[in-house]
Amino acid sequence: AHLARIEAVDEKVHAFLHVDREGALAQARAVDEKRAKGEKLGPLAGVPLALKDIFTTEGVPTTVGSKILEGWIPPYDATLTKRLKAADVVILGKTNMDEFAMGSSTENSAYGPTGNPWDLTKIPGGSGGGSSAALASFQAPLAIGTDTGGSIRQPAAVTGTVGVKPTYGAVSRFGMVAFSSSLDQGGPCARTVLDAALLHEVIAGHDPLDSTSIDAPVPPVVEAARNGSVAGMRVGVVKQFRGEGYQAGVIQRFDESVALLKELGAEIVELDCRSFDLALSAYYLIAPSECSSNLARFDGLRYGLRTGDDGTHSAEEVTSLTREAGFGPEVKRRIMLGTYALSSGYYDAYYGSAQKVRTLITRDFEKAFEQVDVIVSPTTPTTAFAIGERADDPMAMYLADLCTIPTNLAGNAAMSLPCGLAPEDNLPVGLQIIAPAMRDDRLYKVGAAVE
Ligand code: GLN
């Protein structure tokens, strides 16, 4: 049914870069066989899923939305892919994304943009717009995203779906193409809080192949999602997450959510987190710096595209011609910014200062979580904007992640879930819930209560 739905609507939505029809049917048949034989089934047996094209899939193309990996067929599965298969999930295919997960609209994909199912002229968010659009257009009931600065939560917000960035280190990064390794985090996307929790439990957990993976039990997210409640909880509202640049309808729905939390028995606490005003600036030094190092591996020799290998060019020239042809403008911009910020003489002023700001943000969160159990905010300052509207204005694009970035810098956990439509444009608004590291269960407890 989901393959038929993809066939019927994805020409318009363009959520998928690759539909693995044969692979999906084979996985589904294998589940049927297991069931017929009375064998033990995985926890999500037969449930179809859309996988962001940033996770390697053995024998199935993985492009990361980039021309530089066009035609590359990974010889191995990411740990996350392996876990999905072990849970008997049916992987429908790979979803569209901003190239190397750099962007907030999916317009930076080398393979064309994805439409927002609520209004195809609007962006579905980014970088994981393909995954969120697949959910919102009922092409898949579950999806996977990655969140470096908001790429799970912002697409969830603008498509009226649920997305969770787990605590940094909760979900293995092995086989997840690196953008900014100290920020990147894979996580679940779904249409309900409980669905997200069921997927969270399958993908999270320690992996010896990822040195930053947390070696501790996964917080009880499913139990929390089944027992939604905010009674007696202290909920923080951060002063810095409103004001200039926030759409009136977004603030209206957010204020209504806060009123609902109060009605359900939460105590609301006002918080002042001054360092959050610097988060965007720090992020746009740290993320490009790490990307400039991570993307050095795309040299035209190891994988994917190779340009100029005609016997007339040196190896260095082949590398530079391949990068010129294979990377899009946003990726080049970030590599140059990062290389500059890390260069000798500038390192302390740029990268060093950004790291200090990162520490201040972590401390502001620590102080906040001495006073509250969770923090809530709008997920994004505005609803979905039009395709093309911010494409030539990187700064306007970066502002989409104003509320999501502090969490990545501090490494704690956050969820976005729908909280109604903005009255001025009838487009979905997202409510963000933020919890301390390793307390991902609180996101689900609160999320399930207000869903
Ligand atoms: N939009 C942000 C960026 O462009 C975040 C991307 C992400 O989370 N992968 O870097």
pLDDT per residue as tens digits for the range 1-20: 999 999 999 999 999 999 99
Residues 6+ apart with CB under 8 A from 312: none
d(CA 282, CA 379): 19
Tell me, what's the pLDDT at 302?
Answer: 87
Tell me, what's the pLDDT at 253?
Answer: 98
Distance from Cα 150 to the centre of ligand 1, integer Å: 6
> For ligand 1, is residue 101 a contact (CB within 6 Å)?
yes
Tell me, what's the pLDDT at 266?
Answer: 98
3-state percent helix, strand, coil for the chain, nearest multiple of 5: 40, 15, 40
> For ligand 1, is residue 131 a contact (CB within 6 Å)?
no
Q: Which two tokens stand for residue 393?
A: 């204005």
Q: Which amino acid would we find at residue 80?
A: L
Tell me, what's the pLDDT at 153?
Answer: 98
Q: What percent of the chain has pLDDT over 70?
A: 100
Distance from Cα 239 to the centre of ligand 1, integer Å: 23
Q: Which two tokens stand for residue 184?
A: 């990147």
Domains and CATH numbers, the chain: 1-451 (3.90.1300.10)
Give the single-character DSSP code of 213.
-
Q: Choose, from 127, 137, 180, 275, the residue flagged as catalytic.
A: 127
Quick: pLDDT tens for 268-286: 999 999 999 999 999 999 9
> For ligand 1, is residue 279 a contact (CB within 6 Å)?
no
d(CA 178, CA 352): 21
Residue indicated by tokens 């502090």: 406
> For ligand 1, is residue 149 a contact (CB within 6 Å)?
yes
> For ligand 1, is residue 145 a contact (CB within 6 Å)?
no
Cα–chain center distance at 120: 21
Query: Which candidate, 294, 302, 306, 230, places its Cα nearest to that of 268?
Result: 230
Query: Which candidate, 218, 164, 166, 168, places its Cα nearest to that of 194?
Result: 164
Quick: pLDDT tens for 116-143: 999 999 999 999 999 999 999 999 999 9
Atom of ligand 1 nearest to the CA of 180: 9
Tell me, what's the pLDDT at 371?
Answer: 98
Tell me, what's the pLDDT at 303?
Answer: 84
Quick: pLDDT tens for 358-391: 999 999 999 999 999 999 999 999 999 999 999 9
> For ligand 1, is residue 151 a contact (CB within 6 Å)?
yes
Average pLDDT value over all residues in the chain: 97
Tell me, what's the pLDDT at 370?
Answer: 98
Helical pair 79-86 and 193-203, crossing angle rounded to 10 deg: 110
Whether 239 is catalytic is no
**82: confidence class by pLDDT, cuts 50, 70, 90:** very high
- Give backbone dihedrals phi and psi of 417, rounded to 5 degrees, phi first: -140, 155
Cα–Cα separations (whole angstroms), residue 262 to 236, 396, 436, 448: 11, 34, 21, 15
Q: Which of 31-45, 51-65, 302-316 has the lowest mean pLDDT?
A: 302-316
Distance from Cα 394 to the centre of ligand 1, integer Å: 12
Query: Which of 401, 408, 416 has most ligand 1 atoms within 8 Å of its beta carbon, as the pocket-test mutant?
Result: 401
Task: Give ipTM to 2 decimals.
Answer: 0.97
> For ligand 1, is residue 147 a contact (CB within 6 Å)?
yes
Atom of ligand 1 nearest to the CA of 148: 8
The residue whose CA is least distant from atom 10 of ligand 1 is: 102
Give the single-character DSSP code of 122.
B
Q: Choose, from 109, 131, 151, 275, the residue flagged as catalytic.
A: 151
Q: Which amino acid would we find at residue 81?
A: T
Query: Which of 54, 64, 98, 182 has most ligand 1 atoms within 8 Å of its beta carbon, as the pocket-test mutant?
Result: 98
Atom of ligand 1 nearest to the CA of 152: 8
> For ligand 1, is residue 287 a contact (CB within 6 Å)?
yes
Strand order in the sheet with 428-435: 16-19, 90-95, 48-52, 142-146, 186-190, 162-165, 413-421, 428-435, 374-378, 234-238, 267-271
Q: What percent of the chain has pLDDT over 90?
A: 97
Whether 52 is catalytic is yes
Query: Which of 127, 181, 399 has most ligand 1 atoms within 8 Å of its beta carbon, as the pocket-test mutant?
Result: 127
Whether 320 is catalytic is no
Tell me, what's the pLDDT at 236?
Answer: 98
- What is the number of other CB atoms lying within 10 angstroms of the CB of residue 373? 20
